[in-house]
Amino acid sequence: MTSDNSADAKPRKTAVSFTGGKDSMTVVNLLRDAYIALEASSSWPEDAREAWTADLRSRLDSVAGCELALLVTFVPVGAAPFKAHPLEIVKLQAAALGLPHLVMEVSAAPTFLDSYRDNISRLRSEHGVEVLATGDMLDVCSSFMPRAAAGTGVQLLSPLWDIGRRLLLELVWAYGMEPVITCVNVTKFRVQQKEGAEEQGQGQAQGQPEGTDACGAAAGSAGASSAGQAAAAGAPGDDKSGTPEAQAGAGAGAGAASEDDYSGRLLGQRLTRQLHAAELLPAVERFGVDEAGEWGEYHTMVLASRLFAAPLALGAHSPQREGDYAYLAHTAPPQLQQQ
């Protein structure tokens, strides 16, 4: 990626494909205040500090000159609300960040790719957007978002591309983010998943649009980057910002998750250093999962950040189960907390 770093360069109006998960929120935080991340780098583990700091600076260079102007959430027409990334929470996050928020509908007619492309073109023509940034880390859905942006006049940037998972989590914590795990794919936390877990994820990414899992999709309406819902909410990972896959899977009957599910240790928990050490790292070793959930192992919503005007209260909820997914069903609306 290239960027114009000259002092006289006009800032490029930038939108972030936004689901409210830790990945797209990290992109927002990096764009709003790079200094926080650079300041945090001084306290990173000594054995990783030099490499991580150089990596971070390279990522910040890739978005130099970008001026964050708005958040955009792609929502599939007629889909059920997303379980992992409820739109009502996304709207509160935008309010807490003090940023304009667009909800853009995407449709399978004629194709999700065409619908995404039309919407990205509208970002340019109606809102003056020059750059669309996503929280993608891997190629999901055969480069769906780069194909959707091609020819629109909008540059696609993915500042977290191929980032080390531990570095990503260090950035999450540096910004004081409090991601709560809102959906877990219980099939990922089984011993038989360890062999071929990566191949399975790759096959999913190549064979369907991003975000088509029940976590991202069944929740039906938030999204920004994954396959199944390639158009709507985040596919294999936390919040693939903008693909259709995330929407798939809505509507099945739900029941409380059984106590023996690994999801019981993760669902509804905040992604803290303690949870990472106690549950996610052992799961990496035992099941071969991605510790940042990039193959759809889990999804998050961020309830706090150093850049929020006020933290969010999740609202009353209960664990539910739908097929291979455990998720939080809300019984009371989320809200901004009073300071």
Compute the average pLDDT of residues 186-212.
51
Q: What is the DSSP string of 67-118?
A: EEEEEEEEEETTPPPPSSS-HHHHHHHHHHHT--EEEEEE-SSS-HHHHHHH
Residue 159: pLDDT above 70?
yes
User: If you classify domain 12-190+260-336 with CATH, what class do you get?
Assistant: alpha beta
pLDDT band (50, 70, 90) for residue 192: low
Rounded Cα–Cα distance for residues 3 and 179 (Å):
30
Q: At what angle do helices 22-32 and 87-97 cross, to 10 degrees?
A: 10
- pLDDT the model gives residue 332: 81
The owner of tokens 């006020």 is 310
| Positive or negative torsion for Cα 159, 99, 18, 49 | positive
Residue 195: pLDDT above 70?
no
Q: What is the DSSP string of 213-258?
A: SHHHHHT-S--BB-BBTTTTS--SSS--BT-SGGGTTTT---BPPP
pLDDT band (50, 70, 90) for residue 228: very low
Q: pLDDT digit string (tens) for 120-151?
A: 999 999 999 999 999 999 986 788 999 999 99
101-106 sheet: strands from edge to edge: 101-106, 66-76, 12-17, 131-133, 155-157
Q: Which of 55-59, 80-84, 155-159, 220-224 comes out lowest in average pLDDT?
A: 220-224
Residue 210: pLDDT above 60?
no
- pLDDT the model gives residue 141: 77
Work out the mean pLDDT of the chain and round it to a whole number: 81
Which residue ranges make up each domain of the chain? 12-190+260-336
pLDDT band (50, 70, 90) for residue 14: very high
| Positive or negative torsion for Cα 135, 140, 144, 147 | positive
Rounded Cα–Cα distance for residues 328 and 128 (Å):
37
Residues in the chain: 339
- pLDDT the model gives residue 261: 64
- pLDDT the model gives residue 205: 31
Compute the average pLDDT of residues 99-108.
96
Give the burial string for 302-327 (b: 16+ CB within 10 Å, else e).
bbbbebbeeebebbebebbbbebbbb
Q: At what angle do helices 22-32 and 165-174 cross, to 10 degrees?
A: 60
Residue 216: pLDDT above 90?
no
Q: Is 4 helix (H, G, I), strand (E, B) or coil?
A: coil
The owner of tokens 């492309």 is 117
- pLDDT the model gives residue 190: 85
Q: Is 186 helix (H, G, I), strand (E, B) or coil?
A: helix
Residue 191: pLDDT above 60?
yes
Q: Which of 81-85, 168-172, 250-254 comes out lowest in average pLDDT?
A: 250-254
pLDDT band (50, 70, 90) for residue 250: very low
Rg (CA), the chain: 18
- pLDDT the model gives residue 224: 36
The owner of tokens 């999700």 is 112
Q: Which of 249-253, 274-278, 300-304, 319-323 comes out lowest in average pLDDT?
A: 249-253
pLDDT band (50, 70, 90) for residue 242: very low
- pLDDT the model gives residue 142: 82
Inter-residue contact 193 to 288 (CB < 8 Å) = yes
